[in-house]
Structure 1
Amino acid sequence: MLVHEIMTTPVVTVPRTWTIKQAVRLLYEKDITAAPVVDENGRMVGIVSEMDLLRGEYGANPRAFLRPEAPPTSRPPALVEEVMTPHVRTVAEDADTMEVVELMITTGVKSVPVVHDGELVGIVSRRDLMGLLAHGDERIREDVLAALRDCAETASFGAAVRDGVVELYGPGDERSARIAELVARTVPGVVDVVFPEGTVS
């Protein structure tokens, strides 16, 4: 499955000149955990998360406001551009979904912007990926079979699904099997597609 099939679009963005309080309110109202930050021309210049905003609002110690402290030597951050992450990891809209999963696992990020020719076109969050997993295997199987029946070359294939992995079986040559695999991968919730040994002649 490709990124553009699961990404959220249009993207909620935050102007870099907004105050931290404005950004907090937007993320809360939209029920999102992060948003790309854009400049005056709409070009992405960073990303800001709930944690970035909380650090900006409360400081490194979230309980620091509970007790008197010495006056700070410099003013606390007030604008989004002061707390955002400027170096953003992105993926292309035609990338495989597993590339996003690997990126989230290795970097710990919760949201990944999607770009096309350098332009922001979407965003993928952990919630989007969880939505894929929420599809039950039986629902996925029904959707795969329906998709296979729409193509004459793949209508004879059957399918079994376990934990999102689709096993295709039935009569067919290498070409029809390849088409069946491509069709099955377009179905939301499909993690991988495999063939039992001896299925393809």
Structure 2
Amino acid sequence: MLVREAMTSPVVTIPRTATVRQAIRVLDEHGVTALPVVDEPDRLVGIVSEMDLLKGVFEHDPRAFARPVATPATPSPRLVGDVMTRDVETARPNTDVAVLAETMMKTRIKSVPVLAGSAVVGIVSRRDLIAILARGDARIRDDVLAAIAEYGPAGSRWDVSVRDGAVELRGRADEPAQRIAGVLAQTVPGVTHVSIHG
């Protein structure tokens, strides 16, 4: 499966000149955990997450302490450009989702903007990947059969079974037809593994 089939698009972005409060409201209104930060004209310059926006927003409540708490000498950041992450991991629409998922797990990144050229065209979050894996086996089976019927070689017949996202193809077909059926099955969202038995 490719990133373009997993990403959320259109993506909600925010300019670096937005205030931290504005960014917090955008996150809350759209139910997302991160926003790509863009400059003119929609060029990616960073990403801002919930954690970035929470830095320095709350002051200590004096009721929670026996002694007064000193307030910080420097004011808390006010603009998205002050708190955003500048070194952003990105993906392309044709990136393999398995490669992206592995990168996200290794780096502990929760959201990755997707770029076509320099334009932000989508975003992939951990939630997007979980939603793909949560697809039911019956729906995956139907989608595999539909993909093979539409794009596979004419005349080949397949029995398809799916268990926990793992697809098993059974049918009599030559090697090129088997390869095509396997590739088509792998493109279906939610498929984690494909095995072919002649």
TM-score calculated relative to the size of structure 1: 0.89
Cα deviation, 1:53-85, whole Å, max 9, x if unaligned, reads 111423xxxxx5213433433222111111111
Distance 1:146 1:160 in 2: 14
User: 1:61 maps to which residue?
Assistant: none
Partner of 1:146: 146
What's the % identity of the aligned pairs?
Answer: 52
Show the counterpart of 1:65: 60
Unpaired runs of 5+ residues, structure 1, are 59-63
- Residue pair 1:56, 1:78 contacting (<8 A) in 2 also: no
The residue aligned with 2:52 is 52
Task: Using the TM superposition, name which of 154-163 and 1-10 deviates more.
Answer: 154-163
Between the aligned partners of 1:151 and 1:171, the Cα distance in structure 2 is: 17
Instruction: Output one character per residue of 1:30-60: Cα deviation in whole Å (capped at 9) or x when no partner.
Output: 01010100113221100001111111423xx
- Amino acid across the alignment from 1:9: S
How is 1:1-201 mapped onto 2 (pairs within 5 angstroms)?
Answer: 1-58=1-58, 64-67=59-62, 68-151=68-151, 153=153, 155-196=156-197, 199=198
* 3-state SS of paired residue (1:94): coil
The question of whether the paired residues in 2 share the 8 Å contact of 1:91 and 1:114 is answered with yes
C-alpha distance in 2 between matches for 1:81 and 1:5: 30
Looking at structure 2, the residues matched to 76 and 65 of structure 1 have their Cα atoms a distance apart, in angstroms, of 13
- Superposition deviation, residue 192 in structure 1: 2.3
Q: Give, as a single letter, the amino acid of the residue that structure 2 aligns with 1:186.
A: T
Q: Under a length normalisation based on structure 2, what TM-score does the superposition of the two structures give?
A: 0.90
Give the distance between the partners of 2:60 and 2:136, measured in 1 at CA.
46
Q: Calculate the aligned-residue CA RMSD, in Å.
A: 1.6
